[in-house]
Amino acid sequence: MPEACAPSVDLRTIISHCTDWASATEFGCIVQHQMANNGLDLTLGSKSASLKLVGGLSPGSEVWICSTETPFGVRIDIHCSGQRMGFDHATSMASEICAMVDSLRSLDRYLYTIEGIPFPSEV
């Protein structure tokens, strides 16, 4: 099967072609979690295709908080323009997120039992 490659699809393109949102829609913060470029194999009947993540991120006015699974844990990255947030602030934000994740991992009970939120299998 020939390989199809799209260099990238930016958020503005997705908004204008894949949603009914106004083209001027702005986001203050975007949170994204992804598996570490493991790829995805798809099969439909006798046809198969694979999808791999490549490319970069070019934030506009929004702040992207990205978490990526790695063999050693979860990596946290903050992406934004220099006009939106300085390096020190972004580093501080990433450190606070890491500390919060560590706190959640050390709970002796699941968060849903603490907050009284029914677990999906209990609904």
pLDDT digits (tens, 9 = 90+) for 28-38: 888 887 775 56
Q: What is the pLDDT of residue 115?
A: 58
Tell me the residue range of the domain where 63 lies: 28-111
Of 57-61, 77-81, 113-117, the range with the lowest mean pLDDT is 113-117
Q: Classify residue 44: in a domain, yes or no.
A: yes
Q: Classify residue 23: in a domain, yes or no.
A: no
Q: Classify residue 11: in a domain, yes or no.
A: no
For residues 7-19, average pLDDT = 79
Q: Classify residue 1: in a domain, yes or no.
A: no
Higher pLDDT, 119 or 74: 74
Q: Classify residue 65: in a domain, yes or no.
A: yes
C-alpha distance from residue 107 to each of 29, 93, 112, 119 (Å) = 27, 22, 11, 16
For residues 41-62, average pLDDT = 75
Cα 32 from Cα 105, distance rounded (Å): 19
Question: CA-based angle 40:97:80, to the nearest 5?
Answer: 70
Q: Classify residue 21: in a domain, yes or no.
A: no
Cα 29 from Cα 121, distance rounded (Å): 31
Q: Give percent above pLDDT 90 in the chain.
A: 5
Residue-level length of the chain? 123
Cα 3 from Cα 71, distance rounded (Å): 28
Cα torsion 68, 14, 22, 61: sign: positive
Would you say residue 61 has pLDDT above 60? yes
Q: Classify residue 72: in a domain, yes or no.
A: yes
Name every residue whose Cβ is closer than 8 Å to that of residue 10 and which is 6 or more positions away in sequence: 58
Mean pLDDT, the chain, whole residue set: 76
What total number of domains does the chain contain?
Answer: 1
Query: For the whole model, what pTM was predicted?
Result: 0.58
